[in-house]
Amino acid sequence: MSETSPILKVMQPAEIPDAGLDLRTEVVIVGSGASGAVMAYELSRAGAKVVVLEAGPYIPSSEFQEHTQTAFETLYQDHGNQVNTTGDMVVLQGKCIGGSTVVNTAACFRPPDQVLESWRTEHGLENLSPEVLAPYFDKLESNLSIHQNEPHEVNYNGRLLLEGAKKIGIPASPTSRNVKNCALSGHCLAACRTDRKQSMLVTYLPWASELGATILSGTRADTFEVRDRRITAVNAIATDSTGRNKPVRVEADLVVVAAGPIQTPLLFQKNKLANSSGQVGLNFACHPSLAVFGEHHGPVYAWVGATITAHAGEIENPLRGGYLIEAAMADPVNTSAATDGGVGRDYLDFVANSKNFQSAITLIHDHNVGRVFLEDGRKRIEYDIDDRDFESMREALRGVARIYFAAGAKRVYLPTTRRTTIERESDVDSVINSLTNGKHKYRLASYHPQGTMRMGADPKRSVVGPDGRCHDLDNVYVPDASLFPSSIMVNPQVTVYGLASYIADQIKARG
Amino acid sequence: MAHALSLLDEPTLEEVRVGFKLFDYGAIVIGLHFRRFVNLSVERRVAYVHRWEKGVEIQRGIVDLLKKLTYLGYWKDIEAARAIGYQGPVSVEGGIPNLGNAPMPPTGQEP
Ligand SMILES: Cc1cc2nc3c(=O)[nH]c(=O)nc-3n(C[C@H](O)[C@H](O)[C@H](O)COP(=O)(O)OP(=O)(O)OC[C@H]3O[C@@H](n4cnc5c(N)ncnc54)[C@H](O)[C@@H]3O)c2cc1C
Average pLDDT along chain A: 97
- List CB contacts of A270: < 8 A, sequence separation 6 or more: A222, A223, A374
Q: Which of B60, B75, B92 sits opposite A332 (nearest CB)?
A: B75
Number of domains in chain B: 1
The CA distance from A402 to A448, in Å, is 26
- Kindly state the percentage of chain A with pLDDT values over 70: 99
In the predicted structure, residue A149 carries a pLDDT above the cut 90: yes
Render pLDDT for A17-67 as a digit per residue (tens, 0 to 9). 999 999 999 999 999 999 999 999 999 999 999 999 999 999 999 999 999
Q: Are A61 and A194 in contact (CB under 8 A)?
A: yes
The pLDDT of A99-127, averaged and rounded, is 98
Q: Chains A and B: how many Cβ contacts under 8 Å?
A: 153
Q: Which atom of ligand 1 is nearest to the CA of A222?
A: 41
pTM above threshold 0.95: yes
The pLDDT of A172-193, averaged and rounded, is 98
Q: Which of A81, A337, A440 sits opposite B61 (nearest CB)?
A: A440
Q: Can you tell me the ipTM of this complex?
A: 0.94
Q: Which atom of ligand 1 is nearest to the CA of A236?
A: 42
- Helix and strand numbers (H, E) in chain A are 12, 21
Q: Which of A195, A344, A352 sits opposite B99 (nearest CB)?
A: A195
Q: Which atom of ligand 1 is nearest to the CA of A259?
A: 34
**A344: closest CA of chain B, how far (Å):** 7
**pLDDT reported for residue A404:** 98
* Least confident span in A6-15, A351-360, A393-402, B22-31: B22-31
Interface of B with A in 37-96 (CB under 8 A): 42, 46, 49-50, 53-54, 57, 60-61, 64-65, 67-68, 71-72, 75-76, 78, 80-81, 84-92, 96
A13-67+95-145+195-284+450-510 folds as: FAD/NAD(P)-binding domain (3.50.50)
**B100: closest CA of chain A, how far (Å):** 6
Say whether domain A150-179+289-365+386-441 belongs to CATH 3.30.410. yes
**pLDDT reported for residue A1:** 41
Interchain CB distance below 8 Å, A196 and B11: no
User: Is the Cβ of A60 closer than 8 Å to some Cβ of chain B?
Assistant: no
- Which residues of chain B are within 8 Å of residue A4 when distances are taken between CB atoms? 103
**B35 found inside a domain:** yes
**pLDDT reported for residue A77:** 98
**B44: closest CA of chain A, how far (Å):** 11
Q: Is residue A511 classed exposed, middle or buried when 0-12, 13-18 and 19+ CB atoms within 10 A define those classes?
A: exposed
Q: Is residue B97 classed exposed, middle or buried when 0-12, 13-18 and 19+ CB atoms within 10 A define those classes?
A: exposed
Instruction: Using most ligand atoms within 8 A of CB, pick from A35, A53, A81, A493 the residue to mutate for ligand 1.
Output: A493
**pLDDT reported for residue A317:** 81
**A367: closest CA of chain B, how far (Å):** 23
The CA distance from A140 to A500, in Å, is 11
Render pLDDT for A423-465 as a digit per residue (tens, 0 to 9). 999 999 999 999 999 999 999 999 999 999 999 999 999 999 9
Instruction: Using most ligand atoms within 8 A of CB, pick from A75, A104, A329 the residue to mutate for ligand 1.
Output: A104
Interface of A with B in 153-172 (CB under 8 A): none
Cβ–ligand 1 distance for A493 under 6 Å, the answer: yes
Residues of chain B with pLDDT under 50: none
Closest residue by Cα to atom 9, ligand 1, is: A107
Other CB atoms within a 10 A radius of the CB of residue A15 amount to 12
In the predicted structure, residue A336 carries a pLDDT above the cut 50: yes
- Which residues of chain A are within 8 Å of residue B103 when distances are taken between CB atoms? 3-6
User: Is the Cβ of A440 closer than 8 Å to some Cβ of chain B?
Assistant: yes
Fill in the amino acid letter for A350.
Answer: F
Cβ–ligand 1 distance for A259 under 6 Å, the answer: yes
CA distances to A97, A197, A362, B87, B88 from B93, rounded to whole Å, are 26, 19, 33, 11, 10
Confidence of residue A192 (pLDDT cuts 50, 70, 90): very high
Closest residue in A to B103 (Cα–Cα) = A4
Cβ–ligand 1 distance for A161 under 6 Å, the answer: no
Interchain CB distance below 8 Å, A336 and B68: yes
In the predicted structure, residue A193 carries a pLDDT above the cut 50: yes
In the predicted structure, residue A265 carries a pLDDT above the cut 80: yes
Cα three-residue angle A249-A250-A253, rounded to 5 degrees: 150
Interface of B with A in 3-32 (CB under 8 A): 7-9, 11-12
User: Is the Cβ of A380 closer than 8 Å to some Cβ of chain B?
Assistant: no
**B52 found inside a domain:** yes
Instruction: Using most ligand atoms within 8 A of CB, pick from A81, A115, A447 the residue to mutate for ligand 1.
Output: A447
**B102 found inside a domain:** no
- Which residues of chain A are within 8 Å of residue B19 when distances are taken between CB atoms? none
Q: Is residue A379 classed exposed, middle or buried when 0-12, 13-18 and 19+ CB atoms within 10 A define those classes?
A: middle
- Residue B30 belongs to what domain range? 10-81
Confidence of residue A3 (pLDDT cuts 50, 70, 90): low
In the predicted structure, residue A79 carries a pLDDT above the cut 60: yes
* Least confident span in A73-87, A126-140, A307-321, B80-94: A307-321
Q: Which atom of ligand 1 is nearest to the CA of A98?
A: 49
Nearest by Cα to A393 from A437, A439, A341, A338 = A437
Cβ–ligand 1 distance for A190 under 6 Å, the answer: no
Q: Where are the domains of chain A?
A: 13-67+95-145+195-284+450-510, 150-179+289-365+386-441
Where residue A440 falls (left for φ over 0; alpha for ψ -120 to 50; beta otherwise) is left
Interchain CB distance below 8 Å, B86 and A303: yes
Cβ–ligand 1 distance for A100 under 6 Å, the answer: yes
Render pLDDT for A402-426 as a digit per residue (tens, 0 to 9). 999 999 999 999 999 999 999 999 9
The CA distance from A280 to A485, in Å, is 12
> How many residues are present in chain B?
111
**pLDDT reported for residue A2:** 42
Query: A509 by DSSP, 3-state: which?
Result: helix
Interchain CB distance below 8 Å, B53 and A417: yes
User: Is the Cβ of A181 closer than 8 Å to some Cβ of chain B?
Assistant: yes
Helix (H) or strand (E) holding B65: helix B57-75
CA A356, distance to chain mean position in Å, is 29
The pLDDT of A170-192, averaged and rounded, is 97
In the predicted structure, residue A287 carries a pLDDT above the cut 80: yes
- Which residues of chain A are within 8 Å of residue B71 when distances are taken between CB atoms? 332-333, 336-337
